[in-house]
Amino acid sequence: MKSVKIENVSKQFGQVHGVKDLNLDIKAGEFFTFLGPSGCGKTTTLRMIAGFYYPSEGKIHFDDRDVTLLQPNRRNIGMVFQNYALFPHMTVDENIAFGLQVRKLPKSEIKQKVDRIRGLVHLTQYGSRKINELSGGQQQRVALARALVIEPDILLLDEPLSNLDAKLREETRIEIKRIQSELGVTTIYVTHDQMEAMAMSDRIMVMENGYVKQIGTPQEIYNRPVNRFVADFIGETNLIEATIESIVDDVISAKTINGIVFTGQKHNSSPALSHMIGDIVFISIRPESINQGTGDNTLTGKISFVEFTGVSVNYIVDFVDFLLKVMIINTYGQLKSIGEDITLNIANESLYFLGE
Amino acid sequence: MEKPPVNSYQENAWTRLTQSKWFVYVLISPLFLVLFAYVVFPFYQTFVQSFSGDDALYNYKKFFNLASPANLEALWTSIYISVISVITCAVVGVTMAFLLERYDFPGRRILTILVLVPMALPPLVGVLSFTFLYGESGIFPRAIQHLFGLDQVPFSLKGIWGVVVVHTFTMYTYFYLTASAAIKGLDPSLEEAATSLGAGRIRVWTKVILPMLTPSIIAAALLVFMVSMASYTAPLMFGVERTMTMQIYLSRTNGNLEMAATQSMILSFVSISFLIIMRWYQNRRNYQNLSKGVSVHRSEVSSKWMKIVATVASFISTLILILPILVLILISFSVDGAWKTQILPTDYTLDHYIALFTDERTWRPIWNSIQMGVVATFGNIIFGVAAAYAMVRLNFKGKTLLDILIMVPWALPGTVVAVNLIAAFSTENIFAFNQVLIGTFWILPLAYFIRHLPLIFRSTSASLVQLDQSIEEASRSLGASWWYTFRRIVIPLTFTGILAGTLLALVQSLGEFVASILIYSTSTIPLSVAIFQKLYAFKFGTACAYGVLQICLILIVLIISEKLSKGSAGSAI
């Protein structure tokens, strides 16, 4: 269990920059996630930590040790690959034992460790199976066992769930989290799935285009995004452009082009926002924070789309200069239909103000 | 974990070096050095030699001199033979591919296997059996002469047409293989679509099927042209002296090395041009067959008359394909010197086979060839695997150059390779560790190494491309060093590819004749040259016994490769 410190790391691929000026502290034992769309630099960062890429600039430390240019085989990391990368010419046990054999452990100890870890990932019966005789979920667990059995200082997971079907994905997600907290190993998890990231992580780093956009706990990132990219990427939201009209104490009012006025709380705004009257702001409103009926910020619009999902009713409501995605928990009432008017309200504290 | 400061400083310097982006060039430099020493340098020496003399262009002027047109005639004959060979091979190969892939008739299954027999015949042995069968004193012409009581044989294979027939027999497989692969990938629904749109049979053929096959047919045509231009054995055996390869051989045996060099340069120019055209065409051609696993429907031959015709035709084809091997086996049991004017040999014996294993003078060439072939193949394995790994896994400038340098020796006629080696290694030089290689044991292994450079390289890179890089990374992340990973992960997973290439290279080395005949040393005569010598000493039995042995070796290799390719398909994820 070690901490990871990344200082001013950049990675160039020819003319293209993969990661730019990255600074990051991952605490020992933490479950840390790199989140972002494909090509954002999350896998590049992971591979630099693993040692498959060397940074063009900057330093990487495990605890106090500088590992920037250390070869991957000398870092004591465990890595689970997106496609599992199991050795197809070996059995399950041979795969798991590989790292222990490299470390020249005595045979009896290898057997004992392999048996123990095989139990941990619920593959007790499968030791002598060939890899191609396993299902996708089982292969996934072999990959995890193989990475964990060497008792790595850091566990790296590169989109490990992306090749599983939806149901297995959720099961495995819980399983990984269980094993991780049982062993307490520092874990770095790469994914483009924000649900996965929210559910598993202690902290998340959101990346885009090689830059860090925000680092924080799942709640911080969801409730208090620092910019439009994070607000839009994490969960669903409505981003409405408006101009600041007045600020009185903690109360802030902003008006859209067509004159709809929203009132919210000043402390619910991103740190980068300058709060000058006349400034353009973007108001982030989560679909689930919108209620039917009157209250704070009451407004009436025309329904242009209705979707019933069981748990909720989703509407898209047209307010001429913007559309509002609305999610209302199913209360077994009558659905409204397209073309009808609907009256909605949004609590003042549910508004979140963002800058450019 | 903590290391003494001095150590860690050294480790740092080493780490810096290995992590530098120039380090890859340190790794690949041995590959380029080998290619430079044994491909580029000999070629350059020939180039220099072709321009030697008071008048640098003397030999070239002589070559293109219209007053004594022997050389131009040879160039023309070579091209002429090659063009005819391409046409005949195309007709036979594509027809066979269509009949076997699209129709069902009695004898189809056996034909599908036998159609590849020509690949199992080493060039010299193939020509040999053809002369026994259809040559001037061959079995067939004589049989007909006896049957009808003629004064002379009614027909016989000789001259240019003899060469073309042998070429057709040995090279149609290039067309057959590419065409049948293309036909297998051809989606039958395309034909059905065309038919449903109202196209008749002829229109479907000319507008749909043939255009789809064109890329593979052109690729095969280029290949056959190249191989025909390089062909040496057939012209030698049928006495066609006016071909490029024969002219080089004659210049060399007459001691006119400058002229041999000039002729080699001109032939190399043709071969390398074709290599370049071929590669350009292969890169350009688009693979249209996107639908995989299409079930090809075979039309059954239904009418009674067609059935009889098909049966007779497939019987004759089977006979033609299998006779060369049968006749070799037959003659290998015949008593040397006893077969003169009879249709078939009259006296039989097991002596030749016994001699193969007991008589020192008889098995010596076999043992020579095995030794030289193993040495050459060992070199090929090391070079081929390293080059393939560099090509697939490393990132460096000069990949195309590496690829071309490996392919060039394969495109060069064996005769030219031999002339290049003579030019380079008749004198002491650094690449031969200051030795004269010509006349020693080492020159033939070197020739085999160069001629078979791409075989292991290609088979290994094909397996490496399929091996996901993350598997190697997984091993590294588990603490394995690069070398440990290479041994325990890369080698086992590419083993079938390496082995397939190795067996092929070994078999080719054991049968190599074209370069051997020009540069063998009398103390280490290879098998193929021994066959040739026995032939000229009228020891047909011994020659054929050697030939049968070679065919057996090739068959073993083919069977093992077949098994391997099936086994690997099963274990691949």
**Segments forming the whole domain that contains residue A275:** 236-354
Q: Which of A88, A131, A150 sits opposite B478 (nearest CB)?
A: A150
Query: What's the pLDDT at B297?
Result: 63
Is there a single domain that holds both residue B306 and residue B386?
no
Do A142 and A273 have their domain in common?
no
Residues 6+ apart with CB under 8 A from A260: A299, A319, A321
Which of the 8 DSSP states describes residue A153? S
Which phi and psi (to 5°) does residue A351 adopt?
-85, 140
| Amino acid of residue A211 | Y
Q: What is the pLDDT, as a whole number, of residue B16?
A: 66
A72 vs B470: CB contact, 8 Å cut-off? no
Same domain, A260 and A333: yes
* B18 vs A201: which has the higher pLDDT: A201
Whether B364 and B327 map to the same domain: the answer is no
Q: How far apart are the C-alpha atoms of A95 and B325, rounded to whole Å?
A: 49
**Same domain assignment for residues A328 and A179:** no
Residues of the domain holding B101:
81-240+301-331
Please report the pLDDT score of residue B567 as a whole number. 52
Residues B371 and B225 in one domain: no
User: How crowded is residue B320: how many other Cβ atoms within 10 Å of its Cβ?
Assistant: 13
Check: CB of residue A164 under 8 Å from CB of residue A140: yes
pLDDT in tens, A276-318: 888 889 999 999 999 988 988 999 999 999 999 888 999 999 9
- Give the sign of the dihedral formed by CA A138, CA A140, CA A143, CA A148: negative
CB nearest to B15's CB, from A69, A78, A103: A69
**Pairing of the two strands A186-191 and A211-216:** unpaired
> Where among A229, A256, A288 does a domain terminate?
A229
Query: What does the DSSP assignment read for A230-292?
Result: HHHHSS--EEEEEEEEEEETTEEEEE-TT--EEEEETTSB-TT----TT-EEEEEE-GGGEEE
Q: By the CB < 8 Å criterion, does A14 face chain B?
A: no
Please name the member of A52, A65, A143 whose beta carbon is closest to the beta carbon of B473.
Answer: A52
Do A106 and A13 share a structural domain? yes
Residues A18 and A56 in one domain: yes
The H or E element spanning position A191 is strand A186-191
User: How far is Cα B573 from Cα B570, in angstroms, rounded to an integer?
Assistant: 8
Co-location of A53 and A165 in the same domain: yes
Q: Evaluate whether ipTM surpasses 0.90.
A: no
Regarding whether B365 and B491 lie in a shared domain, the answer is: yes
The list of chain B residues with pLDDT below 70 reads 1-19, 284-297, 301-302, 338, 340-341, 565-573
| Residue A133's CATH number | 3.40.50.300
What is the per-residue pLDDT for B286? 52
A206 and A62 in a common domain: yes
Q: Do A117 and A137 belong to one domain?
A: yes
- Running DSSP on this structure, what letter comes out for residue B524? S
Rounded to an integer, what distance in angstroms lies between the CA atom of residue B36 and that of residue B429?
A: 13
Q: Chain A interface, mutation test: which of B12, B477, B490, most A Cβ atoms within 10 Å?
A: B477
Length of chain B as a residue count: 573
Which burial class, exposed, middle or buried, applies to A311 when counting CB atoms under 10 A from its CB (0-12, 13-18, 19+)?
A: exposed
Residues near B298 by Cβ (< 8 Å), separated by ≥ 6? B101, B102, B103, B104
Please indicate, yes or no, whether residues B305 and B376 belong to a single structural domain of this protein: no
Q: Please write the tens of the pLDDT for every residue from A322-336.
A: 899 999 988 887 888
State how far residue A87 is from chain B, nearest Cα, in angstroms.
Answer: 7
Exposure class string for A116-142: b at 16+ Cβ within 10 A, else e: ebbebbebeebbeeebeebeebbbbbb
Could you tell me if B305 and B387 lie in one domain?
no
Provide the pairing of β-strand A238-248 with A280-285. antiparallel
Instruction: Read off the CATH number of the domain in which B509 is found.
Output: 1.10.3720.10
* CB A288, CB A327: distance < 8 Å: yes
One domain for residues B460 and B323:
no
The residue ranking higher by pLDDT, B573 or A88, is A88
Asked if A67 reaches chain B (Cβ–Cβ under 8 Å), the answer is no
Tens of pLDDT, residue by residue over A231-248, are 989 988 999 999 999 988
Give the strand pairing for A323-329 and A312-318: antiparallel
Domain identity same for A182 and A246: no
- State the pLDDT at residue B317: 87
Question: What's the number of domains chain A is made of?
Answer: 2
Could you tell me the pTM of the whole model? 0.80
Crossing angle between the packed helical segments B159-185 and B210-230, to the nearest 10 degrees: 140
Q: How far is CA A251 from CA A140, A247, A344, B353, in A?
A: 51, 6, 21, 107
Let me know if residue B401 belongs to a domain. no
Residues in chain B with CB shorter than 8 Å from the CB of A57 are none
Q: CA-to-CA distance for A190 and A197, rounded, in angstroms?
A: 8
Q: B505 in a domain, yes or no? A: yes
CATH number, domain of A342, equals 2.40.50.140
Closest C-alpha among B92, B135, B132 to residue B115 = B92
Tokens of B419: 């002339």
- Tell me the C-alpha distance between B274 and A221, whole Å: 62
Are A183 and A245 in a shared domain? no
Identify whether residues A268 and A217 lie together within a single domain.
no
Give the phi and the psi of residue A343 in degrees, each rounded to 5.
-105, 130
Asked if A4 and A186 touch (Cβ cutoff 8 Å), the reply is yes
Residue from A46, A49, A63, A81 to probe the interface with B (highest B Cβ count within 10 Å): A81
Chain B residues with CB under 8 Å of A71 CB are 15, 18, 476, 481-482
Among A199, A229, A259, the domain boundary falls at A229
Q: Are residues B381 and B501 in the same domain?
A: yes
The enclosing H or E element of A77 equals strand A77-80
Please, are residues A131 and A90 in contact by the beta-carbon 8 Å criterion?
yes
Q: Are B357 and B363 in contact (CB under 8 A)?
A: yes
pLDDT single digits (tens) A21-72: 999 999 999 999 999 998 899 999 999 999 998 899 999 999 999 998 888 8
Number of domains forming the structure of chain B: 2
Q: How far is CA B423 from CA A202, B43, B96, B105, B482, in A?
A: 72, 8, 43, 55, 41
Report the candidate in B457, B463, B465, B466 with the shortest Cα–Cα distance to residue B501: B457
Write out pLDDT tens, residues B77-119. Answer: 899 899 999 999 999 998 888 888 878 887 788 888 888 888 7
A184 with A309, same domain: the answer is no
